[in-house]
Structure 1
Amino acid sequence: MLVETTIHDQAWGQQGYKGLQSIQDEYGVDIYFKEGIKSYSQTIQAVDHLVNKGVNIIFGHSNIYGKHFQQLHKQYPDVQFIYFNGQFTAENVTSLNFSANAMGFFAGMVAGKMTEADLIGIIASFEWQPEVEGFYEGVMYQNPEADVHIAYTNSWENTDKARMLYEQMEEEGADVFYPAGDIFNVPVINEVQKDGHYAIGYVSDQSSVAENTVLTSTVQKVDVVYNLAMDRYVEGELPGKPLTFDFQDGAIKLGEYSPEIPESFQKQMDDLIEQYMKTGKLPNE
Structure 2
Amino acid sequence: MLKSPNNCYTIDYRRVHRKSIPLHERRNMKKISLLVALVAILLVTIFFYSRPQHRLTTIGFLFPDSMYDQTWGTEGYKGMLEIAQSYETAFFYEQNINTNEEIKTAVKRMADRNVQVLYGQGMEFSDAFNEVAAKYPDIHFVVFNGESKADNVTIINIDAYTMGYFGGMTAAHHSKTGHIGVIGSFKSQPEIEGFKDGAIFENKNIKLHEYYVKTFSYDSRGTDIAENFIKNKKVDVLFPAGDGINADIMSYARDHDTNVIGFISDQSNYGPQVLMSTQVKIPAAYVKVAKLYEEGNLKGGRLNWGIKENLVGVGKLSRRMDNQFTTQLKKDLAHYKETNLLPSGETPPAEHDAYRQD
Q: TM-score, normalised by structure 1?
A: 0.96
C-alpha contact 2:154 2:300 (8 A) present in aligned 1: yes
Structure 2: distance between partners of 1:38 and 1:169 = 31
Structure 1: distance between partners of 2:186 and 2:132 = 25
Partner letter of residue 240 of structure 1?
G
1:1-285 pair list within 5 angstroms? 1-170=61-230, 171-209=232-270, 211-284=271-344, 285=346
C-alpha contact 2:148 2:300 (8 A) present in aligned 1: no
C-alpha contact 2:215 2:244 (8 A) present in aligned 1: no
Structure 1: distance between partners of 2:256 and 2:77 = 32
1:183 deviates by: 2.8
166-175 vs 12-21, which moves further? 166-175
Partner letter of residue 262 of structure 2?
G
Structure 2: distance between partners of 1:186 and 1:158 = 10
* Unmatched runs of 5 consecutive residues or more in structure 2: 1-60, 347-358
Structure 1: distance between partners of 2:322 and 2:237 = 16
RMSD (Å), alpha carbons:
1.3
Aligned to 1:33, the other structure's residue is in SS state strand
Partner of 2:20: none
C-alpha contact 1:89 1:242 (8 A) present in aligned 2: no
Aligned to 2:62, the other structure's residue is in SS state coil
Partner letter of residue 140 of structure 1?
I
Structure 1: distance between partners of 2:257 and 2:219 = 20
Aligned to 2:90, the other structure's residue is in SS state coil
Larger RCO of the pair (alpha carbons < 8 Å, separation 6+): 1
1:18 deviates by: 1.0
Aligned to 2:92, the other structure's residue is in SS state coil
Structure 2: distance between partners of 1:24 and 1:193 = 34
How many percent identity over aligned positions?
30
1:14 deviates by: 0.9
C-alpha contact 1:215 1:260 (8 A) present in aligned 2: yes
Structure 2: distance between partners of 1:98 and 1:128 = 15
Q: Residues 199-245 of structure 1, C-alpha deviation per residue, up to 9 Å, x if partnerless?
A: 11111111112x12111111111111111111212222223111111
Give the aligned length.
Answer: 284
C-alpha contact 1:232 1:238 (8 A) present in aligned 2: yes
Structure 1: distance between partners of 2:244 and 2:196 = 22
Q: TM-score, normalised by structure 2?
A: 0.77
121-130 vs 187-196, which moves further? 187-196
Q: Residues 258-282 of structure 1, C-alpha deviation per residue, up to 9 Å, x if partnerless?
A: 1111222211111110110000111
1:163 deviates by: 2.7
1:4 deviates by: 0.9
Structure 2: distance between partners of 1:149 and 1:68 = 35
Partner letter of residue 244 of structure 2?
I
Aligned to 2:262, the other structure's residue is in SS state strand
* Unmatched runs of 5 consecutive residues or more in structure 1: none
Aligned to 2:154, the other structure's residue is in SS state strand
1:167 deviates by: 2.9
Aligned to 2:167, the other structure's residue is in SS state helix
Q: Which has the larger radius of gyration?
A: 2
